[in-house]
Every structure is written in C-alpha cells, then in structure tokens.
Amino acid sequence: MDNMEKNKKRIETLFWGSLILWVGMVFVVANFGIFTFITMGNAWKWILLGAGALALASNVFRSVSADYPNPQVWDWIFTAGFLIGGLSGFTAINFDYIWPFILIIAGVVTLGGLFLKKK
C-alpha cells in the first residue's frame, strides 16, 4: 500500500470515527435535554448537519493537501446531500423537493463518468 492510499485510509477513519462520536453526542444531548434546542424530534437534522460539516472539512482539507488524494465528485455530492438535509430542518428549504434532484445529478455524474472516461 503506497503512502497516498495510507493517507486516504487515515482520513476516512478520522471522518467515520468523528461522525460516530457526533451521532452519540447528539443523542446524549437530546435524551438528557442538555440543550433545549436539540431534541429527539430534530436530532437527525443535527446529525445530518454535523455529517455535512465533517464531510466539507474533509473535502476541503483533501483539496488543499498534496499528501492526500483529492475528493471525487461523489464526495462533494454526499457532502451537499448531508448539508441540505441538515439545513432543511432549520431553514425554509424543503428537502422533500430537493432530494430527487440530488439523485438525478448523481445519476448524470455517474453516467457521465462512464461515457467520458479516457481509454
């Protein structure tokens, strides 16, 4: 395994470990009422928002660091999905109308990558 692959594995482990920690913290705060604005009713919005923030930080870090592989299009799509899903609970954005467009964009990107690959 080369150095770039090790770094990719390291950043993925950091992301997933941080996300699991965030999910646990949100549920503890919601269950014990530590912050009144985080409840079990909106816990998933906070989880998605935190996942989006972690993914965004990871993507930006990988974009500016020469030691880590650049994020792929899917990384940015998942980041946008997490952020939109999380923010939809706190803004006037209705995620019910947006997520189908995210799926369509993901499909177009996937098919575009299939047809535009260099041989």
Task: Residue 82: count other Cβ atoms within 10 Å of its Cβ.
Answer: 21
99: left (phi over 0), alpha (psi -120 to 50) or beta: alpha
Q: Please give the pLDDT value at position 103.
A: 79
Task: Flag whether the pTM goes above 0.85.
Answer: no
The answer, yes or no, to whether residue 82 has pLDDT greater than 60, is: yes
**Residue 60: pLDDT band by 50, 70, 90 thresholds?**
very high
As a whole number, mean pLDDT of residues 93-102 equals 73
The answer, yes or no, to whether residue 119 has pLDDT greater than 60, is: no
